């Protein structure tokens, strides 16, 4: 009881939050849905890129960055010892009069592979050696990945905008309904900053419940969709969700929710000034 008397604003804030069950359910559902949809879009974007990479790897028959054909054992030893080379696999194929060696080289960097290979060969003084860059690492493949993935990321913008607007309307109706209680808070000396913090605190409580639920729902649904589309393209599918996707979906959802609070606060301040 002492705690409530010492903090009347917090006490009334808790009362407002607990009494607004309908608003809380609606807000929870909106936050859950926008988080889940953003998560699904991010998973589809990531999976699209990985699918294109997998196809390129299948075409090349390896995930190594560079492939050296008709290479000698001496050249293999020299290239394997170069500091820019991370690892190497050697394939031996029989042919008339002997055998053929093919080296699959893994570099420490995926950038400018052709230039890196030329530098390696130049450093070692090796000339006239056949080399092929894995199609998965070519600039054309990367451009195609961006072209196919970006629409999914852009699709999150209208989802977040719709969520922003819906949350603002829910909070606005709730504020109108509880204006008597808010007047009590104002009579207790509540400032503009306290008003803003109170509203944000109530929405943050909803976020703590709704965003994790939305991430789980989005991950489950996104994985099912990714698996379905993976089967449609001859089984090429790699699980696409990762901690970065989870974090990104959670952050952008929280930003959309927080911006709705800030937008509503500005509208309330403008209405107060216009009445004066």
Residue 182 has a pLDDT of 66
Residue 6 has a pLDDT of 46
CATH number at residue 115: 3.30.70.330
Is the model's pLDDT at 132 over the cut of 90? no
Residues 170/23, Cβ–Cβ less than 8 Å:
yes
At 4, the pLDDT band (50, 70, 90 cuts) reads very low
Give me the sheet containing 130-133, strands edge to edge: 85-95, 98-107, 66-69, 130-133
Clarify whether residues 199 and 162 are in a common domain.
yes
Residue 177 has a pLDDT of 65
Number of structural domains, the chain? 2
What is the rounded average pLDDT for all residues in the chain?
78
Which has the minimum average pLDDT: 66-75, 121-130, 174-183, 234-243?
Answer: 234-243
Distance CA 24, CA 80 (A): 62
Residue 158 has a pLDDT of 93
Is the model's pLDDT at 234 over the cut of 70? no
pLDDT tens string 182-222: 666 667 666 667 777 777 777 888 889 999 999 999 888 88
Percent with pLDDT over 70 in the chain: 75
Domain of residue 71: give its range: 64-133
Of 75, 103, 133, which closes a domain?
133
Which has the minimum average pLDDT: 34-43, 137-146, 256-265?
Answer: 256-265
Of 79, 98, 133, which closes a domain?
133
Beta bridge partners of residue 105, listed in sequence order:
66, 88
Which has the minimum average pLDDT: 36-45, 116-125, 226-235?
Answer: 226-235
Clarify whether residues 173 and 50 are in a common domain.
yes
Residue 154 has a pLDDT of 92
Distance CA 89, CA 67 (A): 10
Of 89, 115, 133, which closes a domain?
133
Is the model's pLDDT at 271 over the cut of 80? no
Clarify whether residues 73 and 51 are in a common domain.
no
Distance CA 166, CA 152 (A): 22
Burial 8-23 (b: 16+ CB within 10 A, else e): ebeebbeebbeebeeb
Clarify whether residues 17 and 144 are in a common domain.
yes
Q: Which residue has the higher pLDDT, 265 or 247?
A: 247
At 180, the pLDDT band (50, 70, 90 cuts) reads low
Q: Which residue has the higher pLDDT, 87 or 234?
A: 87
Clarify whether residues 128 and 245 are in a common domain.
no
For the chain, the first-to-last Cα distance in angstroms comes to: 38
Clarify whether residues 37 and 103 are in a common domain.
no
At 3, the pLDDT band (50, 70, 90 cuts) reads very low
Residues 135/57, Cβ–Cβ less than 8 Å:
no
Q: Which residue has the higher pLDDT, 128 or 1?
A: 128
Clarify whether residues 128 and 144 are in a common domain.
no
Read off the tokens for 70.
């008709």
- Among candidates 260, 156, 266, which has minimal Cα distance to 207? 260
Clarify whether residues 115 and 225 are in a common domain.
no
Clarify whether residues 29 and 144 are in a common domain.
yes
Which has the minimum average pLDDT: 21-35, 48-62, 79-93, 220-234?
Answer: 220-234
Residue 214 has a pLDDT of 92
Is the model's pLDDT at 1 over the cut of 50? no
The length of the chain is 276
| Look-up of token digits 């054909």 | 69
Clarify whether residues 222 and 158 are in a common domain.
yes
At 14, the pLDDT band (50, 70, 90 cuts) reads low
Residue 241 has a pLDDT of 59
Residue 210 has a pLDDT of 92
Contacts of 248-252 with CB under 8 Å at 24 or more apart are 248/42, 249/35, 249/38, 249/39, 249/42, 249/214, 249/215, 249/218, 250/35, 250/211, 250/215, 252/38, 252/156, 252/160
Clarify whether residues 12 and 145 are in a common domain.
yes
Residue 11 has a pLDDT of 54
Clarify whether residues 34 and 101 are in a common domain.
no
């Amino acid at each position: 009881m002492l705690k409530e008397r010492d903090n009347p604003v917090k006490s009334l804030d808790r009362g407002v939050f607990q009494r607004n069950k309908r608003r809380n359910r609606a807000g929870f559902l909106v936050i859950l849905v926008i988080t889940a949809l953003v998560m699904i879009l991010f998973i589809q974007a990531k999976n699209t890129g990985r699918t294109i990479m997998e196809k390129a790897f299948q075409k090349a028959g390896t995930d190594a960055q560079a492939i050296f054909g008709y290479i000698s054992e001496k050249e293999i030893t020299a290239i394997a010892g170069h500091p820019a080379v991370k690892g190497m696999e050697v394939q031996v194929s029989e042919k008339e009069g002997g055998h053929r060696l093919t080296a699959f080289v893994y570099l420490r960097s995926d950038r400018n592979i052709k230039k890196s290979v030329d530098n390696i060969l130049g450093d070692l003084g090796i000339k006239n050696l056949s080399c092929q860059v894995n199609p998965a690492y070519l600039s054309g493949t990367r451009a195609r990945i961006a072209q196919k993935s970006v629409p999914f990321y852009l699709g999150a913008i209208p989802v977040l905008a719709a969520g922003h607007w819906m949350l603002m309307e829910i909070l606005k109706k709730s504020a109108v309904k509880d204006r008597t209680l808010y007047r009590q808070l104002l009579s207790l000396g509540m400032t503009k900053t306290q008003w803003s913090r109170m509203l944000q605190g109530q929405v943050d409580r909803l976020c703590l419940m709704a965003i994790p639920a939305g991430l789980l729902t989005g991950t489950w649904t996104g994985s099912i969709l990714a698996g379905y589309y993976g089967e449609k393209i001859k089984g090429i599918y790699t699980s696409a969700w990762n901690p970065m996707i989870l974090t990104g979906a959670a952050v952008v959802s929280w930003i959309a929710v927080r911006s709705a609070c800030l937008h509503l606060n500005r509208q309330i301040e403008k209405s107060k000034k216009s009445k004066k």
